[in-house]
Amino acid sequence: MRSGHPWIYRADITSSEAAPGDLVSVASERGRPLGWALWSSASKISLRLVSSDGAPDEATFWRERLARAIAYRDSLAIDATAYRLVHGESDGLPGLIVDRYGEHLVIQTLSQGMDRRLPDLVGWLVELSRPLGIVARNDLKVRRLEGLDESVAVVFGEVPETVVVREGPIQYEVDLRRGQKTGLFLDQRENHEAAARYGRGRALDAFTYLGGFALRLAAVCESVIALDSSATAVAAARGHVTRNGLANVEVREANAFDELRELEIARERFDTIVLDPPAFARNKASLERAVAGYKEINLRALKLLTVGGHLVTCSCSYHVDEALFLAIIESAAADARATVALVEKRMQARDHPVLVGVPETHYLKCGPQAVRTKP
């Protein structure tokens, strides 16, 4: 806490008096005031500090934080109609996520404190950003850690089955109730654009979801093969190929691990490869298997890459930090007998800022955008 981290764990609490989700005053064992925090009666993270000044006036405090978060996104001149308005701790609103999809908002309240304030938060969001509708995507397992149930509900106005948004030149039709995350992987938006700066020739997007990288690469590559193991994602991605009038993208329903191996056996080669798998490491216990998974796909991709080709490789596992991710790439390159040059290191888009001193807010690593030179 002294170094600026806003969390206090249950093991460090000597005594407490609070109801679930209360905004409480926090003091050291000797009674020195440390600030104000949201209390959780269930999570290992008992306290999430929100202010180190005087007692916040809840009538104005949260609304001001929301207004500041929205003003920051307005300042970014984002070339898209879908982006993140509130990114939890990074906006001084721990446990709160708000994403904008055109005229609609998706809200997630992932702590007892934010969940209890959901009706007020919705009211302020309506006032500040005038959406047509707001859906609460509170169907996340992490809510169980807070003793909260999982549900999806429209909490304001009307939300149609799908909404149409734009990301750069690409149009998406997004299902805000059932899509992965809140509908799109908004954190990859700037990386989609960056990938298109390197893309050329024959391209492979191994974990495509709705086509995030593939659709952008289509404009600069001769052809793109996009893979996803989810039939729903594949059908939706094909829909987006058509909707955006792209003739050179083929979407295949496949397990990327198998397909990469088969492409290698068939001696196929690609000039541009994107690897954006789901988080292989959801916790520390699964780290070893996750490292093996990342290594395998990166090794196979490097074998498929032409000399001078580009690999855009990502990890969204917080537990695999940047140093470990680079070490995995290094080891994959050694096994593939490839010389790899790091061209760019990227992270989540600017509407998902990383709070310095809070490593948990830096989860997405994208890059190295590598060139494979002659072995």
Q: Where in the sequence numbering do the catalytic residues fall?
A: 316
CA-based nearest residue to 361, from 370, 369, 350:
350
Q: Which is nearer to ligand SAH, 253 or 330 (CB)?
A: 253
Q: Which is nearer to ligand SAH, 102 or 157 (CB)?
A: 102
The half-sphere exposure of 251 on its side-chain side, counting CA atoms within 13 A, is 26
Cα separation, 135 vs 138, in Å, equals 9
Q: Are strands 170-174 and 163-167 parallel, antiparallel or unpaired?
A: antiparallel
At 88, the amino acid letter reads G
Taking CB under 6 A as the binding criterion, the range among 147-155, 207-215, 265-273, 337-345 that sits at the site for ligand SAH is: 207-215
Using CB under 6 A, which of 91, 115, 167, 228 touches ligand SAH?
228
- Tokens representing 269 are 């080669």
- The strand pairing partners of 135, in sequence order, are 106, 154
Cα separation, 90 vs 367, in Å, equals 23
Residues of this chain, 273-312, that bind ligand SAH according to CB under 6 A: 276-278
Tokens 């308005």 sit on residue: 85
Is residue 167 within the footprint of ligand SAH (CB under 6 A)? no
Cα separation, 315 vs 319, in Å, equals 10
- Nearest position to ligand SAH, beta carbon: 212
# chain residues binding ligand SAH, by CB under 6 A: 20
Taking CB under 6 A as the binding criterion, the range among 9-17, 94-102, 221-229, 240-248 that sits at the site for ligand SAH is: 221-229
Is residue 250 within the footprint of ligand SAH (CB under 6 A)? no
Contact flags string 325-344 toward ligand SAH, x per CB under 6 A? --------------------
Is residue 207 within the footprint of ligand SAH (CB under 6 A)? yes
- The strand pairing partners of 346, in sequence order, are 366
Is residue 230 within the footprint of ligand SAH (CB under 6 A)? yes
Q: Which is nearer to ligand SAH, 61 or 318 (CB)?
A: 318
Is residue 33 within the footprint of ligand SAH (CB under 6 A)? no
CB of 153 to ligand SAH, least distance (A): 24
207 contacts: CB under 8 Å, gap ≥ 6: 227, 228, 256, 274, 275, 276, 277, 278
Is residue 213 within the footprint of ligand SAH (CB under 6 A)? yes
CB of 192 to ligand SAH, least distance (A): 6
Q: Which is nearer to ligand SAH, 146 or 276 (CB)?
A: 276
CB of 208 to ligand SAH, least distance (A): 6
Cα separation, 29 vs 32, in Å, equals 7
CA-based nearest residue to 48, from 30, 29, 22, 28:
22
Q: Are strands 223-228 and 249-253 parallel, antiparallel or unpaired?
A: parallel
Q: Which is nearer to ligand SAH, 117 or 352 (CB)?
A: 352
CA dihedral 70→73→79→83, nearest 10 degrees, is -70
Q: Are 86 and 64 in contact (CB under 8 A)?
A: no
Is residue 188 within the footprint of ligand SAH (CB under 6 A)? yes
Q: Are strands 151-157 and 202-205 parallel, antiparallel or unpaired?
A: unpaired
Element (H, E) at 233: helix 231-243
Residues of this chain, 90-119, that bind ligand SAH according to CB under 6 A: none
- Tokens representing 105 are 């908002």
Is residue 51 within the footprint of ligand SAH (CB under 6 A)? no
CB of 103 to ligand SAH, least distance (A): 22
At 372, the amino acid letter reads R
Q: Which is nearer to ligand SAH, 115 or 259 (CB)?
A: 259
Q: Which is nearer to ligand SAH, 230 or 361 (CB)?
A: 230
Using CB under 6 A, which of 255, 268, 288, 359 touches ligand SAH?
255
CA-based nearest residue to 7, from 40, 32, 33, 29:
40
Is residue 212 within the footprint of ligand SAH (CB under 6 A)? yes
Taking CB under 6 A as the binding criterion, the range among 60-68, 127-135, 204-212, 301-309 that sits at the site for ligand SAH is: 204-212
Contact positions vs ligand SAH (CB under 6 A): 180, 185, 188, 207-210, 212-213, 227-230, 233, 255-257, 276-278
